[in-house]
Structure 1
């Protein structure tokens, strides 16, 4: 029996006891009849004494007894005091019963809120504990109902001892109801984190679903506008179509699919629809950008084709003035440049076809390939003319390159000795090796056909080593090593 059912039974029982019975005699008749009967507990001697009294005295005694309220007043004020105390205990128990029933109904709502959102072990354990408390509430409620049904405090012939028993049992029932209510309150306090999390998710549910619907509507509107501009956007339309079943599930509600799943679905639909909307709105600009890139890359390819034709004269001068080691790695530049330009023009044609078919991802990918080919060609063509320029400079004055490298070494040596009497071997050794390496590179320029390119690569490598040593010194000092 639940607390609510017990409360309804109590109300029904009370109403039944207090409903007037049309067939019963009037109250004055019931009191007269009760006065004519010997009171409960009256001894035989009292009865005989009444019987032997003279008639006038017997009548006076009966009248006095009738006027005093019948048997109810036979025991004087003590019985009435006990009745009042029992009634007070009954009222207190009823109040405790009502408080427990209200708390249980409120807590049931909290449990239903948690189970609608959370399926974690903690939530399942809370449901089990609530069911155990429910069984205990049914038990103490049943004891309370039994105590109420066992004692009719409105009886005219209620004895003092019966009133005392009623008060005792009703007080015990009230105490049990109160202790159970305290346990229920402690359990409700422990549900705080779970209930807060559940309420937060429920509060997010309606806004999340509405946001998903609005995102889908915005994506549809943007896609329609794009199509009116003459762009097909078939891939975007396909992506938007896949969100239709998801919207159907959102409309079916969290009661069917669960709150966590509905929240996750709403967030995913909103995110995907927003991506479709953004791409649809950007599609006209993307088409215009692809058109600009087609024109720009075609112009660049033509310019590189012209520049590639100038590599042969540069290689001819390199062969005439410098040793083979200075230009052998550039031999394939003209052929490679011509091939790259040819491939770039082919990819450009494919990109234009993809653009006309509005295959935007394919067009973008092809244009990226064209750009990579032209960048590689530009570097190769530039490398030949840059090589000739650098070799001319070092052949004219190699000392300038030597001084530049020695300055970098000396600057690093001063930094290594700053605040120290002896340098750290980790810094001194690579710097000393750099000095020796520079001297060997400079010595390599002696002879009939000096390898100026080797000299340039060596000095560049020495400067790179020195730069790493400087960075290590500063790092060590920054960390206090």
Structure 2
């Protein structure tokens, strides 16, 4: 719609009434003015009451059209503000379509307004010599202009009602903008204060300071405002700055605790390394007894344990020394990573050293009483068989077959104990494998029955 429209002339309030009163008084003075009129005087022509009635109706139509025009103009201006609010926040296809539709409605408003203005300009209702037919034609055209303005107003109202979701979303984002920017600034101040407190305690926190400094350009863009960078980008930037600054603040707050934890882990792991060194020295006597009393198959996989344990402990001690240097230099991520590596090496060593002692203990037990292991495995098989037959006259082949295989496998393992040098370790690994297979069958049966199959 054009920014400046010609304001249609308003009919002076009460003018129709004054004209009517003048016409009522006119017959009393006609005899006095007629001579002058024929002599060329500028007196007003008289067309009778019908012309003035048509004038009044035309003026009323003009006033009604003017009211419709101003109502439409106000509604369009208000809606333009809503469209500008949406476009400032939303660049989605729906928002772009709303802008296009608004422009189309605006063109129809311009067309209706132009016809209204043309109708107003075409008829001077204040002319003294206004004829009844002219007044009637003016009334008709002004009424038609008003009706068209009303129709366009209804179209504009329907369009405005459809903007609700888009406008609500835009207003929500605008309402979030200022608080989000303020939260980002507060988070930056909090992070800076936390770093100052950490430094006052003798910790440098250089990595955290670098992360905080990297947020400075983002703060500059926030200060430049949404007018330069757009509402969505500014809102996203504010939330990102707040998250990163809060992370820096939180890590700075945990830094003294982290330093203390690293110190504790250094002492603990060094003590553990020393203990594993002592335990590693005891592996060789265990292996010697295994070699003396059992067949090679029972211990040959443990031959490497003493050498590997010693190497692992040496590597762990080297990592601990590097971790100590990183701690003194306050390279916290490096110190943490080195401690984790040292711990993994010591865990591996602990498992290997323990495996040698556990092997001797288990082999001693099965050599003394192999029947206990046999009974344990047979009980597991019988328990699974009873479960498989529960509520059935014949077992399901899917369950019976692996259970029968387990029975046969156990018998073969028992047979392997015959002879001068039985492989007890093979016997133990076989019985364990049988029990695992039986447990899988039991789990499958229970799952099927639980699901109603």
Q: TM-score, normalised by structure 1?
A: 0.87
Of the three residues 387, 410, 414, the one matched with 2:386 is 414
Of the three residues 360, 363, 366, the one matched with 1:391 is 363
CA distance in 1, matches of 2:100, 2:31: 70
**Counterpart position of 1:84:** 56
What is the CA-CA distance between 1:147 and the residue it aligns to?
1.2
Of the three residues 324, 329, 333, the one matched with 2:305 is 333
**Counterpart position of 1:42:** none
1:456 and 2:453 aligned: no
Deviations 1:46-105 (A, max 9, x none): xxxxxxxxxxx994573999xxxx746x33332222122111111110111011101100
1:106 and 2:105 aligned: no
Q: How does 1:353-392 map to 2 (within 5 A)?
A: 353-392=325-364
**Counterpart position of 2:7:** 10
Q: How does 1:130-145 map to 2 (within 5 A)?
A: 130-145=102-117
Name whichever of 243-252 and 414-423 sits farther off.
414-423
Instruction: Give the number of the structure whose alpha-carbon radius of gyration is greater.
Output: 1
**Counterpart position of 1:298:** 270
Q: CA RMSD in A?
A: 2.4
CA distance in 2, matches of 1:156, 1:58: 17
Q: Which ranges of 4 or more aligned residues in structure 1 deviate by more than 3 Å? A: 57-65
Name whichever of 158-167 and 177-186 sits farther off.
158-167
1:429 and 2:401 aligned: yes
The answer (yes or no) to whether the contact 2:298–2:423 under 8 Å persists in 1 is yes
Of the three residues 229, 242, 247, the one matched with 1:257 is 229
Alpha-carbon distance change, 274 to 58 in structure 1, aligned in 2, over 3 angstroms: closer
1:226 and 2:226 aligned: no
**Counterpart position of 2:258:** 286
**Counterpart position of 2:417:** 445
Name whichever of 305-314 and 127-136 sits farther off.
127-136
**Counterpart position of 2:40:** none
Alpha-carbon distance change, 248 to 422 in structure 1, aligned in 2, over 3 angstroms: same
**Counterpart position of 1:43:** none
The answer (yes or no) to whether the contact 2:10–2:63 under 8 Å persists in 1 is no
Q: How does 1:29-428 map to 2 (within 5 A)?
A: 59=31, 62=34, 71=44, 74-428=46-400
CA distance in 2, matches of 1:236, 1:199: 36
What is the CA-CA distance between 1:190 and the residue it aligns to?
2.0
What is the CA-CA distance between 1:154 and the residue it aligns to?
2.4
Alpha-carbon distance change, 128 to 460 in structure 1, aligned in 2, over 3 angstroms: same
3-state secondary structure, aligned to 2:7: helix
5+ long unaligned stretches in structure 1: 19-26, 36-56
3-state secondary structure, aligned to 1:10: coil
Name whichever of 351-360 and 152-161 sits farther off.
152-161
What is the CA-CA distance between 1:121 and the residue it aligns to?
2.1
Name whichever of 210-219 and 115-124 sits farther off.
115-124
How many positions carry a matched residue from both structures? 439
